[in-house]
Amino acid sequence: MFNNKSILITGGSGLFGRCFIETILRDYPGVKKIIIYSRDVQKQEEILALYPKKQFPQLRYFIGDVRDKDRLIRACGGVDIIVHAATIASIEAAEYNPEECVKTNIIGAENVIDAALKNNVHDVVALSSDKACAPSNLYGATQLVSDKLFVAANNLTGSNDIKFSVVRYGNVMGSKGSVIPLFIARKKLGGRTLPITDKRMTRFIISNQEVLSAVEYALENHMGGEIFIPKVSSYKVTDLATAIAPEMDQEEIGRRPGEKIDEKLISSADSQVTLDLGKFYAILPSMVYTGHRLLEDYKEHYNAELVPEGFHYSSNDNPVFETVDSLRDKIRMYIDASIKF
C-alpha cells in the first residue's frame, strides 16, 4: 500500500521511525518518498549514514519540530500519508516540565492535523500509549487529549478525502527509558540488585514490528476516527527481572509519581463503542457529526461486533501472559541475540 506514495513520519529518527524506514524500504521498493521529520540532527545523520542518498534517493530529511506549524505545513506538501510518532513520552519529564509536554504532545498534535488538512493529506495515523487510558499522570493526560484531537479531526475534513485515526499500544521492547534496557544495563554492570518499583506490577509488551503491523492495518482499513489497539501479551515485572538476571536480587523501591500497578488499553467506559476485530480492537468515536460514519457503518465495514458491555483490556487480567522462558526468547529476538541469561 506504500508503493507510489509519499510518507511523512514525525519523530522519524526515533526507534519506531528507524524500524518503519527499514521495513518500508524492504517491503515496498516502489515507495515514492519517505520524509523523516525530526529535530535531532545527529540521529538524522546516523540514518543518512545507513542509507546513503545515492542508493536511497527516496529518503528525505527535514529538521523540524512538531511545535512549528509553518515548518510542518511546508514539509507536508505533496504527502499522501502521515505517521505521527513525535512525543515527549517520559512520565517524570512531563511532570517536571508540564508546559513543554503540552506544547509537544497537544499543540504538536493540533499542528499535524492542521498541516494535513491544509495539504489534503489522504491518511493520518497517530501513535499513542496505554498511558492515555484512564491517565494518572500528565504524560498520559496529554496523550489522551492528542487521541481525542485526532479522532475529532475527522469532523473538520469538509469535502476533502482525509482520514485520521490512532494506534494505541503498550510498552515497546527496547524503547529508550523502558525497563528492559535498564535491567540489561544493571546486569552488565555486575550489580547485586534490580530495582522494581512494585512487585505486583504488570505491563503489556509489544515489538516495534508489531506496532508497524498495526499501523499498516490502520492505514489499509480505517474509516476515520478509530483508535486501534493490537491484541498483545502481558508480563509480570518480577518475571522479567528473573528472565534477565536470575542471579540478582529484586529490590522493591516504591512507585514513582503517576505510575500504575497495571496498565489499561481499553477502559470499561469505552466498551459501548469498542469493536472486536480479531487481532485488534477498535474504539470508535463516541460522538460523530458526519452522517457517513455511524456505529452500524463501522460494524458493517469491519464485519465485527461490539465487545460485551463492561469489557476492559488490562495488563493484569490479559488472557495471554509471557513466561520467563518466552520473555528470554523475545529479548533475544528483538533486543540482543547474544545475551547470556
Q: Which residues contact 79 (CB under 8 A, 6 or more apart)?
A: 6, 7, 8, 33, 35, 119, 121
Task: Give the model's pLDDT for residue 77.
Answer: 97
* Lowest mean per-residue pLDDT among 16-20, 120-124, 138-142, 158-162: 158-162
Q: What are phi and psi of 189, to 5 degrees?
A: -75, -10
Residue 286 is predicted with a pLDDT of: 84
Least confident of 114-118, 168-172, 289-293, 312-316: 289-293
Cell of 6: 509519499
Closest residue by Cα to residue 129 from 169, 178, 89, 101: 169
- Number of folded domains in the chain? 1
How many whole angstroms separate alpha carbon 198 and alpha carbon 163?
41
Phi-psi region of 312 (alpha: psi -120 to 50; beta: other; left: phi over 0): beta
Active site residue 54: no
Q: Which residue has the higher pLDDT, 291 or 149?
A: 149
**What's the pLDDT tens digit per position in 6-32?**
999 999 999 999 999 999 999 999 999
Strand order from edge to edge, sheet including 305-306? 59-63, 33-38, 6-10, 81-84, 123-129, 163-169, 227-230, 280-283, 274-276, 305-306
- 246-266 pLDDT per residue, tens: 999 999 999 988 889 999 999
In a domain, 1, yes or no: no
Interacting residues of 300 by C-beta distance below 8 A, sequence separation 6+: none
Position 341 in a domain: no
| Residue 266 identity | I
Instruction: Say how far apart CA 27 and CA 175 lie, in whole Å.
Output: 23
Q: Is the pLDDT of residue 203 over 90?
A: yes
d(CA 236, CA 40): 34
What number of residues does the chain have?
341
Active-site residue, from 131, 187, 260, 264: 131
CA-based torsion, 131, 132, 135, 141: positive or negative: positive
pLDDT, residue 289, reads: 54
Please indicate, yes or no, if residue 156 is contained in any of the structural domains: yes
The CATH number given to whatever domain includes residue 174 is: 3.40.50.720
pLDDT of residue 46: 96
pLDDT at position 295 = 87
- 120 with 77: CB under 8 angstroms? no
Domain annotation covers residue 25: yes
Mind listing the pLDDT tens digit for each residue in 149-196? 999 999 998 888 999 999 999 989 988 778 999 999 999 988 889 999
Predicted confidence (pLDDT) per residue in 46-79, tens digit: 999 999 999 999 999 999 999 999 999 999 999 9
In a domain, 46, yes or no: yes
Distance CA 260, CA 253 (A): 14
H/E stretch holding 141: helix 138-152
- The reply to whether 339 falls in a domain is no
Residue span of the structural domain in which 246 resides:
6-334
Can you give the pLDDT at residue 290?
A: 53
Alpha carbons 23 and 9: distance in angstroms, whole number = 13
Taking each helix axis from N to C end, the angle separating 237-244 and 324-334, rounded to the nearest 10 degrees, works out to 70
Mean pLDDT score across all residues of the chain: 94
Distance, C-alpha 256 to centroid of its chain:
22
Q: Is residue 91 part of a domain?
A: yes
315/341 Cα distance (integer angstroms): 25
Percentage of the chain lying above the pLDDT 70 cut:
98
Q: Between 237-244 and 179-189, two packed helices, what is the crossing angle to 10 degrees? A: 40
**DSSP string across 194-249:** EEES-TT-EEEEE-HHHHHHHHHHHHHH--SS-EEEE--EEEEHHHHHHHH-TTSE
Dihedral of the CA atoms 200, 201, 204, 208 (nearest 10)? -140
- 235 in a domain, yes or no? yes
Helix (H) or strand (E) holding 146: helix 138-152
